[in-house]
Amino acid sequence: MIKKSLILLFFCPICLLAQRDTLSNNTFLAKLSRFSLSGYGAMNYYHFDWQTDSVKRDAIDNERFIVDFGYRWTDKIKLNTEIEFEHGGTGVDVEFDRFEEFGEFEYEVSKGGEVLVEQMNIEFALRPKLQLKVGRVKVPFALMFRRDEPTDYLTAAASEMEMQILPENWTENGLLLRGEFGEKSRWQYHVAFVNGLDNSGFNSANWIKRGNQMRFEMVNAENFALAGRLDYRPNDDFSVGISAYGSRTISGNRPKPDLKVQTPIGLGEVHVQYTKAPFCISGMAFYGIMGNSEALSNQNRNLSNNLNVKRTPVGAAAIGGFAEVGLVVIGDKGLWLKDFKQNCTLYGRFDYYDTQFATEGLIFNNPRWERQSWTIGAVYKIIDEVHLKTQYTVRTVGAPAPTSVNGGRAERTLIAGFAFEF
């Protein structure tokens, strides 16, 4: 009896510790189950044959690697984050610009490097078909809002027209409301209230693209913008929609309060997408306007060299559009070899855009910034999450560049690379 008592006395603390450890493990496992992890990335090789820049050299771009972390506290509250590693590292990015700065080296710093928090927001499920995100959110504008991952689009490089005019992977700080209505929730809408752009980064070649506030530790929020989007999806294969973005003025978001006039901006687009195998069809038309672009251009000329912006004239209006058609030729979703589980898609694409479609006052409307391109390519899906891609693009600019050979206007680019998601 004494032995049994001693054995129990000895093992009781161990049992309690084991029980506590089990509870701790259960708590850890419960928390671990609330986490989610996903990501995507792309890497490309570029071969250039440009009449506008005959010495442009081939390059390899570790384009991006993105990690998405999520955490769900309750069924109605969760955290969304997206961390992006661009171009293979961190530090100061040096670009040699032949066309807009007369052959100068341009130093571009993105928050001290190129590791960016693209998204960080808390999502609240207000109702079964109504969600609110608060924090850094995606701006619900253009097709890239839906097709931002490299496995979402056919081309090796992201949409040329969208990437040349609009901020890449456009995210801002604010609120994003998403809802559904109608029979089988076929109608979807997004409304966003976010900080406005910084118009000191606007320029001739890319219009508002560089206005996304990424150069400083703090984001100026003197002026805000409103964006809205409406999509109709009668089934999983087809969608059509419109989106708009506007701000009464964004001059207050400049690094210095050196522009007294308002610079209102308005953007609009219509898009369509059809993905019924073996066809993939998408298209988009875009138009944007800006007020007091002449005053903005004149003020931007006086910006400090240390700001590392283009300081070139800004258009009063920009226009763009693209049409893309893909055909799955091989694989279980294609025309031939349906027993083959891997798929190969051939595609063609046409882009047109002009970042100085209209100018104001004495600003010269440079025809060089009217561009069109034809692209053909192929996508080979090893599995749904891993794609090998290639594309060949012939872009024609509206006028020769100062470095053009014999007045040539063609820019031929061959791209080959891979994309993945997990």
Q: Give a yes or no: residue 378 inside a domain.
A: yes
| Helix/strand/coil for 144 | helix
The residue among 165, 55, 88, 160 whose CA lies nearest residue 392 is: 160
Q: Give a yes or no: residue 19 inside a domain.
A: no
Contact partners, residue 306, CB within 8 Å, separation at least 6: none
Q: Give a yes or no: residue 368 inside a domain.
A: yes
Q: Give a yes or no: residue 107 inside a domain.
A: yes
Q: What is the DSSP letter of 262?
A: -
Instruction: Please classify residue 316 by burial: count the beta carbons closer than 10 Å to its beta carbon, then call 0-12 exposed, 13-18 middle and 19+ buried.
Output: buried
CA distance 356 to 203: 10
Domain that holds residue 157: 39-421
| pLDDT (0 to 100) of residue 332 | 93
Per-residue pLDDT tens listing for the chain (422 residues): 544 453 443 344 434 334 545 556 678 888 889 999 999 999 999 999 999 999 999 999 999 999 999 999 999 999 999 999 988 666 555 555 656 655 555 655 544 447 889 999 999 999 999 999 999 999 999 999 999 999 999 999 998 999 999 998 899 999 999 999 999 999 999 999 999 999 999 999 999 999 999 888 899 999 999 999 999 999 999 999 999 999 988 899 999 999 999 999 999 999 999 999 999 999 999 999 999 999 999 999 999 988 889 999 999 999 999 999 999 999 999 999 999 999 999 999 999 999 999 999 999 999 999 999 999 999 999 999 999 999 999 999 999 998 898 999 999 999 999 999 99
Q: What does pTM read for this prediction? A: 0.87
CB atoms within 10 A of CB 249: 19
Number of folded domains that form the chain:
1
Residue showing tokens 């891993």:
386
Q: Give a yes or no: residue 14 inside a domain.
A: no
> Can you give the CATH number for the domain in which 119 is found?
2.40.160.10
Say how many residues make up the chain. 422
Q: Give a yes or no: residue 264 inside a domain.
A: yes
| pLDDT (0 to 100) of residue 91 | 54
| pLDDT (0 to 100) of residue 275 | 96
Q: Give a yes or no: residue 310 inside a domain.
A: yes
CA distance 204 to 359: 10
Are 121 and 176 within 8 A, CB to CB?
A: yes
Q: Give a yes or no: residue 367 inside a domain.
A: yes
Are 282 and 304 within 8 A, CB to CB?
A: no
Two tokens, residue 181:
């209505």
